[in-house]
Structure 1
């Protein structure tokens, strides 16, 4: 009998309206994921549907995942500033859900937010999110996320000139990277090499880049090409232009067939700059045009706008009007980037203000609710007290009007009179006895 009761409870809970809604939300989520790589607009509509249905079903995890999906899709569509409030809302929704899955999602949100701020050179804000993400990933025991967050934090520290702190993080990181995670090792060695390049310790920098090459010396890889590129840059800084050109060309060979436009762009841009340094104007034009043909396929950041600066110098003697146009474009693109950076920071600050304002009004509302409850309780007590008084009054009136109660009342009054008379008689007798004795 008990077993039947348990089974009936489980079955009824499974088929309850909330569980039906959850099953439907999970199905929509799987459908949404299928659109991630093909149709982001359809994915966005499904993400909004997940959020709405989760709110209706009071399904907190679904709300968090719906907001996360909206943020991620907005980010993938290239609207980085617009994605920030959605990511921050998702973090708030995940906060009370203390599961490993929730912690991992929160850590991934912090990775993406950090990358958005890093991309816009807001490194202090990026580090703030990376630190938060590291704490979350450690609670979830997610080694992969911990490694990625520490690497990204080290990159930001390097960008703001904190070389010693960045180096310390990366050297310590080497010990916790699993042997199987070759990509993480590549990235860590690369960052250490770039730090020593910045410090003008070029031999030490090249030792770290050589470690990258040794990791996959038998197969072409993106990181192998980047190692050659960074070795070339170190030789360029030392004005050893022949070696620099040789390594830039080796990096292009390594990139062949890998289809990464950004790395090709940077290699051609740097070869154009190298040719300019050697005063090889024709060669500079050739490499600049190759880089320019890839410009629309790469993210628009100041390091990519450098190409306009190179073109303006390259064409200064032969085509001054064209050179002037590129110089203007270089200034215009950098101003546009700075505006986007300002808007991005403003979006984050606006969200914080909205959050503070929302918290304030929530606090005021809670105080108003408490006062309203106290007033309601006071009114209820007063009403009960008045009801009791009225009942007693009605009872007294009714008791005098009812013959039975009236007789009972009279009888009780007669008994009291009789007892009082008896008491008076006894008192008189005692007084008389005392007088006689006297």
Structure 2
């Protein structure tokens, strides 16, 4: 059962590109320039530089500067300065989450731009208004504004703005569930950033690619993108940029911690969110602070600190309502509802979750809708209301299938592979160009030397050069063919590995989750019928036990499928884990795993053979535990001439091979041994124990 539900998308806002102009640092020289300037127009433009610079560090100071610019422009009756003040105030109020005020200033700016035909400000207006629409959860309209800005940037050959517009469009597509289109936009942005050597834009693209992998629940793939992005932003980014980096990395680490039950990752997430909160409060960054509250509530839920999570959740809700930020209010209500559910305050949980669900439907955010439906299913299940729980779960599954199908995941992985392949091909071309250049220099020097040699020497040298060139071309052709074959082989292996990972994830996420739900339902039924019908209780216990064994078998299968190869050390760890579990239930039996010290533990088998070996040993151990009444069970692995000899021995009661009718267990072991191209040898007699062996 999930411990908590997270919304990775809410911290993405800090990566929007706002103003298409140079960001200048606030220095004493700029302030000195303002106070010493005698030309009123130039002095007002200096106010614009100051306000723009403060957007990166202190929004309140930025507002003050832009308001002074507005008053100055009005006094001078200068329309260009008015437009600058309107755009600056609109952006600052957007960052302060005062969206109605921001909308008013952008509308004023557009009317004045159209009146005086100041087309050079159109690009800035479209980008900033796109961000405003996004904050209002109007994602389709936001994407349209960014696309209009992109068209102007392409016409102007403005590569910097093109990169950021691609990023912004991708963010909107992500919120609308169009992950394939989003990744295409981010890849375009990466290409431009690399070409321009724009570190900050590259960091934002890395960050946003990581966010798409979070949406696809591929958190390990997302982690290196977030780490790289944060390191770049610490060097060249603003407070807003760095806060965003901490928030997104924290979200990913929390998801890793929940997915793999890793308390270290959860502690890392808490640290990143606290850093984001500290920097946001110091810089007056309201959105960053609110995001930090939301995510701190989530990570405290994951750490089972529900009271602390509720405290952060209330702060997040209060801040979002005060800021009239519907997007944050939606996240805050859903997360607070989940905290109440985990703290067993079911009435309060239902109230917050229902309000959050209505906001999610109003914003047409499919991602959030599916998450809140999942929590509502869990809430009803916790209250033993299984019929509504099942209905909510069906709705959740319907939306989940529509936005996270295996076809979409495969397409995303294919796009990334195409991008990586393109980068490698460019690198190969560059290296070939370097080699060709060096060869040209060498041939030129040889030509100058041959001019001093007699005709015969010249002919001989020319003949030698022709021969050498042909040989070099032949060698190069061979190497290129070898490289192509290697690339095809690697690509095939990667596709097979991705297919196995996809199947294992489907087994874990769908069948595993459904079996867990069945076990939970059976246990609740057991409790209800425990005193009424003992026979029914026994049958339910049997069904529950069978389901748990099925989950255990499923985990073993997933373990094997997730590995392209299984080492001898992997088998040793898996078998020792099985023995440790058996020791807990059967304390009077001695278990031993004897591995030949001369063996190399890095010896590997393919996943099928490794799984068959493990199943044979597991079945032999189960037979000894269930039927032999043994006091000691030993598994040994020895090196022999033909390979590895594996034996499972016990000192139990044994059996007569001539009188014994082999059951499914023995038959299954023999079949698995045949699949490993070996023979299973069973030696046993009454009262003298049993020995099962085979050679790999």
> Is TM-score (shorter-chain normalized) higher than 0.5?
yes
Q: Is the 8 A contact 2:163 2:190 kept in 1?
A: no
Question: Match for residue 260 of structure 1?
Answer: 363
Question: Match for residue 394 of structure 2?
Answer: 310
Question: Match for residue 212 of structure 2?
Answer: 116
Q: Distance in 1 between matches of 2:172 and 2:352?
A: 34
> Which of residues 234, 237, 242 is equivalent to 2:347?
242
Q: Distance in 2 between matches of 1:341 and 1:221?
A: 32
- Residue 125 of structure 1 and its aligned partner are, at CA, apart by 2.8
Q: Deviations over 1:373-416 (max 9, x none)?
A: 22123324544788xxxxxxxxxxxxxxxxxxxxxxxxxxxxxx
Q: Is the 8 A contact 2:341 2:379 kept in 1?
A: no
2:230 aligned with 1:125: no
Are the structure 2 counterparts of residues 384 and 29 from structure 1 closer, same or farther at C-alpha, using a change threshold of 3 Å? Answer: farther
Q: Is the 8 A contact 1:225 1:251 kept in 2?
A: yes
Are the structure 2 counterparts of residues 141 and 92 from structure 1 closer, same or farther at C-alpha, using a change threshold of 3 Å? Answer: closer
Question: Match for residue 311 of structure 2?
Answer: 207
Are the structure 2 counterparts of residues 268 and 342 from structure 1 closer, same or farther at C-alpha, using a change threshold of 3 Å? Answer: closer
Are the structure 2 counterparts of residues 242 and 274 from structure 1 closer, same or farther at C-alpha, using a change threshold of 3 Å? Answer: farther
Are the structure 2 counterparts of residues 307 and 181 from structure 1 closer, same or farther at C-alpha, using a change threshold of 3 Å? Answer: farther
Q: Deviations over 1:93-149 (max 9, x none)?
A: 132xxxxxx333233223322222222222233222222222222222411111001
Tell me whether 126-135 or 160-169 shows the greater mean CA deviation: 126-135
- Residue 259 of structure 1 and its aligned partner are, at CA, apart by 5.4
Are the structure 2 counterparts of residues 196 and 40 from structure 1 closer, same or farther at C-alpha, using a change threshold of 3 Å? Answer: closer
Tell me whether 151-160 or 84-93 shows the greater mean CA deviation: 84-93
- Residue 351 of structure 1 and its aligned partner are, at CA, apart by 1.9
> Which of residues 328, 332, 343 is equivalent to 2:411?
343
Structure 1 unaligned spans of 5+? 1-26, 52-61, 96-101, 286-305, 313-326, 387-438
Q: Is the 8 A contact 2:163 2:201 kept in 1?
A: no
Alignment RMSD (CA, Å) = 4.1
Q: Distance in 1 between matches of 2:336 and 2:452?
A: 88
Q: Distance in 2 between matches of 1:75 and 1:225?
A: 18
Question: Match for residue 359 of structure 1?
Answer: 427
- Residue 70 of structure 1 and its aligned partner are, at CA, apart by 5.2
Q: Is the 8 A contact 1:272 1:310 kept in 2?
A: no
Decide which structure has greater strand share.
2
Q: Distance in 2 between matches of 1:268 and 1:109?
A: 28
Tell me whether 236-245 or 213-222 shows the greater mean CA deviation: 213-222
Question: Match for residue 300 of structure 1?
Answer: none
Decide which structure has greater helix share.
1
Q: Distance in 2 between matches of 1:235 and 1:186?
A: 19
Q: 1:97-246 alignment to 2 at 5 Å?
A: 102-161=198-257, 162-177=265-280, 178-215=282-319, 220-222=324-326, 223-246=328-351
Are the structure 2 counterparts of residues 383 and 74 from structure 1 closer, same or farther at C-alpha, using a change threshold of 3 Å? Answer: farther
Are the structure 2 counterparts of residues 134 and 279 from structure 1 closer, same or farther at C-alpha, using a change threshold of 3 Å? Answer: closer
2:193 aligned with 1:88: no
Q: Deviations over 1:65-117 (max 9, x none)?
A: 5466556556756412423432331232132xxxxxx3332332233222222
Q: Normalising by structure 1, what TM-score? A: 0.57
Q: Distance in 2 between matches of 1:68 and 1:180?
A: 24
SS at match of 1:200: coil
Q: Is the 8 A contact 2:333 2:353 kept in 1?
A: yes
Structure 2 unaligned spans of 5+? 1-117, 128-142, 258-264, 455-696
Are the structure 2 counterparts of residues 208 and 339 from structure 1 closer, same or farther at C-alpha, using a change threshold of 3 Å? Answer: same
Q: Distance in 1 between matches of 2:332 and 2:289?
A: 13
Q: Distance in 2 between matches of 1:332 and 1:271?
A: 17
Q: Distance in 1 between matches of 2:309 and 2:335?
A: 9
Q: Distance in 2 between matches of 1:190 and 1:125?
A: 24
Q: Is the 8 A contact 1:28 1:46 kept in 2?
A: no
